[in-house]
Amino acid sequence: MAAGRKKRALLLIGAGASLDFGAPSTSSLTKAVEARIQTDDWMRHCGGEAAYVKIRDALLVFCP
């Protein structure tokens, strides 16, 4: 990160309201996170990928 730049949080307010401001959709963020987790050697080594899949699958039961 360049010197003098602050980290900022992005609030996802739901129902697509942030899309007009250029924020990615929740589904595209989820896909990006999943792709990153699946290709990260450390996440696979320490069980992070398996944990993600377990949580994802449990949530899909409630929100298919």
Q: What is the pLDDT of residues 17-61, one digit of tens each?
A: 777 778 788 788 889 989 999 999 999 999 999 999 999 899 889
Residue type, 18: S
Q: Return the pLDDT at 2.
A: 62
pTM of the shown model: 0.58
Written as six digits, the tokens of 43 are 């996440």
Say how many residues make up the chain: 64
CA dist., res. 42 & res. 35, Å (int): 14
- Cα 3 from chain centroid? 26
Distances (CA, A) of 45 to 9, 32, 38, 39, 50: 29, 19, 11, 11, 10
